[in-house]
């Protein structure tokens, strides 16, 4: 049981217990209630201006959105930490990445003036903002309070 994660079904919102060995392994997990495939991929999802609402604002999990650019050195330094957190926090927090050069509308909407900026969303609203390169531990610490609520939701 300690190696299980809780995953909310994107279709019916039921909470499902998924063995950790299924996360990121390519093995499918299905909702116990409606039999819809559950999201168990453990890589950051790429979002755009067009997909932001569906991938971030309507996500049942807390979402950390990394606003970055390929030419940004600090952004590239943070990327491995976010990749690792996507695996470790799969089913509890979604990690998303958005290239600000390709998607200016969303970064303008949220008043992003420097990168990397990481926005944390819960229930479709921005609840935290992390500006600048941070360690994996620092980012995980900021997400901790939102994960506790997600596990009970």
65-to-12, 21, 141 alpha-carbon distances in Å: 24, 25, 16
Looking at residue 140, which CATH number applies to its domain? 3.40.30.10
pTM of the shown model: 0.74
Compute the average pLDDT of residues 112-137: 96
Q: Are residues 83 and 103 in the same domain?
A: yes
Compute the average pLDDT of residues 54-81: 94
The structural domain count of the chain equals 2
Q: Are residues 68 and 17 in the same domain?
A: no
Domain span at residue 130 reads 42-152
Which residues belong to the active site? 72, 75
**pLDDT, tens digit, for every residue of 82-120?**
988 987 887 788 999 999 999 999 999 999 999 999 999
Q: Are residues 47 and 35 in the same domain?
A: no
């Amino acid at each position: 049981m300690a190696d299980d994660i809780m995953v909310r079904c994107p279709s019916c919102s039921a909470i499902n217990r998924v063995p950790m060995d299924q996360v990121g392994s390519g093995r499918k997990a299905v909702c116990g209630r409606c039999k819809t495939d559950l999201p168990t991929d453990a890589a950051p999802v790429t979002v755009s201006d067009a997909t932001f609402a569906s991938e971030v604002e309507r996500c049942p999990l807390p979402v950390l959105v990394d606003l970055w650019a390929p030419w940004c050195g600090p952004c590239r330094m943070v990327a491995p930490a976010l990749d690792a957190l996507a695996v470790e926090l799969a089913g509890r927090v979604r990690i998303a990445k958005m290239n600000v050069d390709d998607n200016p509308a969303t970064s303008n909407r949220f008043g992003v003036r420097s990168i990397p900026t990481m926005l944390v969303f819960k229930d479709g609203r921005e609840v935290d903002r992390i500006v600048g390169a941070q360690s994996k531990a620092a980012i995980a610490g900021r997400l901790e309070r939102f994960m506790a609520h997600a596990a009970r939701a």
